[in-house]
Amino acid sequence: MLNGLDHIGIAVADLEQAVPLWLKITGGKLVHREIVASQKVEVAVIEIGSLHVELLRGVSDDSPIAKFIAARGAGIHHIALRSTAAQEELDRLKQTGVRLIDETVRTGAEDSRVGFIHPKSVEGVLLEVVEPGHK
């Protein structure tokens, strides 16, 4: 089951520019920063009230974020929905004929379990299923 929003992911070219820009515009605060090697991204999390925005920079040219920016420019990249059981959720989606990028969960930021649904199955929207880490 999907319980609501975990975060919104934004592709940015340069975190040193994007973080202060987002803080200025939204009045939010920077609450986390991490390199997620498995996804080849550096993440900066901006908290705006109860909303978490993940600013994402590709750490290599073959990172999905770098490819996205090369193809479409910086901008909104994905919507991450929260689940208490990400693998079960991916299994359920696959059974209903939804195309997945990840059929098996992998490790995301803050020790979460994550999997992406293919945008071809969601009319151009990249959705991520996130099971928060149990720290």
Binding region for a second copy (CB under 8 A): 1-5, 8, 10, 12-13, 17-18, 21-22, 24-28, 48-51, 53, 72-76, 78-79, 81-82, 93, 96, 98, 117, 119, 121-127
Tell me whether residue 10 or residue 43 sits nearer to a second copy (CB atom).
10
Q: How far apart are CA 103 and CA 81, in angstroms?
A: 16
Tell me whether residue 3 or residue 60 sits nearer to a second copy (CB atom).
3
In DSSP terms, which residues pair with 45 in a beta bridge? 32, 54
To the nearest whole angstrom, how small is the minimum distance from the Cβ of residue 135 to a second copy? 22
Q: Which residues contact 8 (CB under 8 A, 6 or more apart)?
A: 51, 52, 53, 54, 76, 78, 79, 80
Assess contact for 56 and 10: CB atoms under 8 A. Answer: yes
Tell me whether residue 93 or residue 105 sits nearer to a second copy (CB atom).
93
Tell me whether residue 80 or residue 109 sits nearer to a second copy (CB atom).
80
To the nearest whole angstrom, how small is the minimum distance from the Cβ of residue 108 to a second copy? 18
Assess contact for 3 and 82: CB atoms under 8 A. Answer: yes
To the nearest whole angstrom, how small is the minimum distance from the Cβ of residue 73 to a second copy? 5
Q: How far apart are CA 122 and CA 93, in angstroms?
A: 12
> Helix, strand, or coil here: 65?
helix
To the nearest whole angstrom, how small is the minimum distance from the Cβ of residue 97 to a second copy? 9
